[in-house]
Amino acid sequence: MRALCLLAIVLSVSFAQTRSVTDAESDVKKAERIHRSMLLIDTHNDITSRTVDGYDIGKSKNDGHTNVTSLKEGGVGAQFFAVYVSSSYVKDNRSAHRTLEMIDTVRHGIVERYPNDFTLATTADDIERIHKQGKIAALMGIEGGHAIEDNLGLLRDYFDLGIRYMTLTHTNTNNWADSSGDVNKAGVQHHNGLTPFGKQVVREMNRLGMMIDISHTADKTFWDALAESRAPIIASHSSCRALCNVPRNMTDDMIAALAKKGGVIQINFNCGFLSEKSAAAGKNVQDSTLPGAAGEDATIAEYRKKVPPATLEDVVAHIDHAVKIGGIDAVGIGSDFDGVFCTPLGLEDVSKFPNLTRALLEKGYSEEAIRKIYGGNTLRLMRAVEAEAKHEQAN
Ligand SMILES: [Zn+2]
């Protein structure tokens, strides 16, 4: 009898365990199915800072965050590749040269090299068409307004080559816009936001149909750009300052104002922008926020030793906060993969996006809401920017 009781207990325990495992598996499968049905648009990836030096994005096992196999595993439908121009090119007037090299690495080093996996896209319609064909839409955004060398003609040339957004600054204040990276640094010539020429840049971007990107800009530059632009604007890779108080993130007031004009904040996965613990520890490592630093192995090693990583839950918290402040139509994804030293536990590289879908479903987000965050909002914003350009060019 006692043996039977024991057997019953063992059986019931094992049944309970089996059932819970089965439930968990079906949740995973459901999340996976939902994830595969999404059009996921990531508005910022810096693998280009490596492909420009010959790095092969088609190599499936590598030490970075991004490669073709991982992009497919992660279900990425459209990728904005960063045409990142370091401020170091300003000194000798080499910014335009570098911009063209970076554009070439996307067009030639990625898309032309892997035509079965990527197709170059420049419009929202392109993204949807390419996604339906089962390929990854490749788009380009310039990182660093100094890329135009204070010349609207170059801005137009970049648009013609396929550039569809430009961050008005990188970590450096340029001749026409203040950056969050040096806004409090003595000795830097500041402008209190945008200069009159900076406002012309914004208006020319409107006329062309290029998205105005305020990631990296000083707060005043954001407010000036928002006031000047006749189309909605984006933050291609920024998170929430209310949860992680760093100048690269957006305040609640900024998120609300951006949203009111139809804009989108694309949440950045950099540990130091997600978690104040990571941000504080990161301050002890030199140059820890520079993208394209993949070659600086010693700094990376030091960073990983000293900085506790953020987590998938932190990413969900930033998305949730931005949705609470700006609404469900104002939030997207701008991972910054391969542009940062530290990525969150559970979201280590582009292959891990399905984990985010699972976490958002667990948080109570509907399929429809996630669809907006993953791509719907960005497509809507792109169409608004395209419509404004069409309208302005017709008049
Ligand atoms: Zn950046």
Alpha-helix runs per DSSP H in 115-190: 124-132, 152-161
Burial classification of residue 150, based on how many CB atoms lie within 10 Å of its CB (0-12 exposed, 13-18 middle, 19 or more buried): middle
What are the structure tokens assigned to 330, written together?
């104002």
Query: Residue 257 CB: number of other CB atoms within 10 A?
Result: 17
318 is catalytic: no
| Residues 26-59: tens digit of each pLDDT | 888 999 999 999 999 999 999 999 999 999 999 9
pTM above 0.75, yes or no: yes
Distance 288 CA to ligand 1 centre (A): 12
Whether 136 and 114 have beta carbons less than 8 Å apart is answered as no
Amino acid, single-letter form, for residue 22: T
User: Does the pLDDT value for residue 313 go beyond 60?
Assistant: yes
125 is catalytic: no
Whether 335 and 355 have beta carbons less than 8 Å apart is answered as no
* 143 strand-pairing partners: 84, 167
Tell me the C-alpha distance between 355 and 376, whole Å. 19
Short-list 226, 227, 220, CA closest to 177: 220
53 against 63, higher pLDDT: 53
What integer best gives the mean pLDDT of the chain? 92
pLDDT at 296: 65
97 is catalytic: no
* 83 strand-pairing partners: 142
287: left (phi over 0), alpha (psi -120 to 50) or beta: left
pLDDT at 354: 97
Average pLDDT over residues 370-378: 98
Distance 376 CA to ligand 1 centre (A): 23
Average pLDDT over residues 59-77: 92
Short-list 134, 211, 142, 191, CA closest to 388: 211
Distance 51 CA to ligand 1 centre (A): 17
For the ranges 7-16, 196-205, 214-223, which has the lowest average pLDDT? 7-16
What are the structure tokens assigned to 81, written together?
């590749």
| Largest distance between two CA atoms of the chain | 91
| Chain Cα centroid distance, residue 42 | 5
H-run or E-run covering 12:
helix 2-36
Confidence bin at 22 (pLDDT 50/70/90): low
Q: Choose the catalytic residue: 35, 65, 191, 216.
A: 216
| Residues 164-216: tens digit of each pLDDT | 999 999 999 999 999 999 999 999 999 999 999 999 999 999 999 999 999 99
